[in-house]
Structure 1
Amino acid sequence: MSIDVPERPDTPCVAVCSTTFDEICRGCGRSVLEVANWVFMTAAEKNNVWERITAEGYPRRKG
């Protein structure tokens, strides 16, 4: 029996939130609206965000 393992986390959040001060989060690269609406977004919408932020070098994880 095989288990499907997601290729990426459920959210791009890296707990380095800066959306209180910035329009684009310095940690994950999402906009304020994307962060606020993430749980309501469809899988396709989330995938579009993931593709954009990874192309831009996000999420920025330490380590």
Structure 2
Amino acid sequence: MSQSPSQRPDTPCVAVCSTTFDDVCRGCGRTVNEVAHWVFMTEEEKTKVWERITAEGYPRRQG
């Protein structure tokens, strides 16, 4: 992702949560573990997640 941490949203969440049923959220692309531990992750860890999910086409907003 080309945005710096200060320019991107606090979280990739798009309120299309599916981690109750899926290992990877259909809305944001994060794993169950990443969603659960997001608030405890360092900026470096969050950046790695952002880079992976955006490369995979997430977050996906409905509509």
TM-score normalised by length of structure 1 = 0.88
The alpha-carbon deviation at position 61 of structure 1 amounts to 1.4
Higher relative contact order (CA 8 A, sep 6+): 2
Unaligned 5+ runs, structure 1: 1-5
**Number of paired residues?**
58
Unaligned 5+ runs, structure 2: 1-5
CA distance in 1, matches of 2:45, 2:31: 13
> What is the CA RMSD across the aligned residues, in angstroms?
0.9
Identity over aligned pairs, percent = 79
TM-score normalised by length of structure 2 = 0.88
Higher Rg: 1
